[in-house]
Amino acid sequence: MRGCVETFTDVGSNFPEGYEGFSADDGNDMEIPMMYSQGIDMLSDDIMGTRPDRSTEGRTGSSGSKRKQGGQAVETMEIIRNVMEHSNDRLKAIVEWLNVQRQDASARLVEVVRQLQRIPELSRYDRVRSMQILMCNVDDMKAFLDILDELKLDYCTIIFQDNA
């Protein structure tokens, strides 16, 4: 099988006759303002969020000179910094809470296994089946842990019937 290739060499034919282009002086050349305020002096530590002492930094001079230099921009930066610190504290609390919940869940799983092993009437198969069912539903797991030891075998029998 043989392929065929066609080449176009007359590139000039891509421009229609009479086309002269357009002028670059169309009035759209405007200056883009700088976003950096000369009144805000941020150190690299400030940008990275590792300010050494927040209570004394920037407070040695008079507030009047700050207002003259940066004014509202300095106050805005301080508000943003405070919001970020508060948000970081909240995120740390959430992470800590999740870690505690994970530890509680792990401890709960260990306790379910331990209590299932203390039921001599359950075969190994029934024990594993009970674990599988209980570990899929936290409410069932908590209920299993809360009932009396004498009722745990009956509870397992009921969850077997419900999940047959």
- In the predicted structure, residue 56 carries a pLDDT above the cut 50: no
Question: So what's the pLDDT on residue 12?
Answer: 56
CA dist., res. 48 & res. 5, Å (int):
58
Report how far apart, in Å, the C-alpha atoms of 133 and of each of 53, 68, 154 are: 54, 69, 15
Q: How far apart are the first and last CA of the chain?
A: 64
Comparison of pLDDT for 71 and 95, the residue scoring more: 95
Of 151, 155, 150, 120, nearest in space to 137 by CA: 155
Residues 6 or more apart whose Cβ sits within 8 Å of residue 117: 127
- In the predicted structure, residue 107 carries a pLDDT above the cut 80: yes
Comparison of pLDDT for 53 and 77, the residue scoring more: 77
As a whole number, mean pLDDT of residues 92-102 equals: 86
- In the predicted structure, residue 50 carries a pLDDT above the cut 80: no
- Which DSSP category does 24 fall into? S
pLDDT tens column, 11-49: 555 555 665 655 555 555 555 555 444 444 445 444 444
Please name the amino acid found at residue 126. D
- Calculate the average pLDDT of the chain: 73
CA dist., res. 34 & res. 164, Å (int):
70
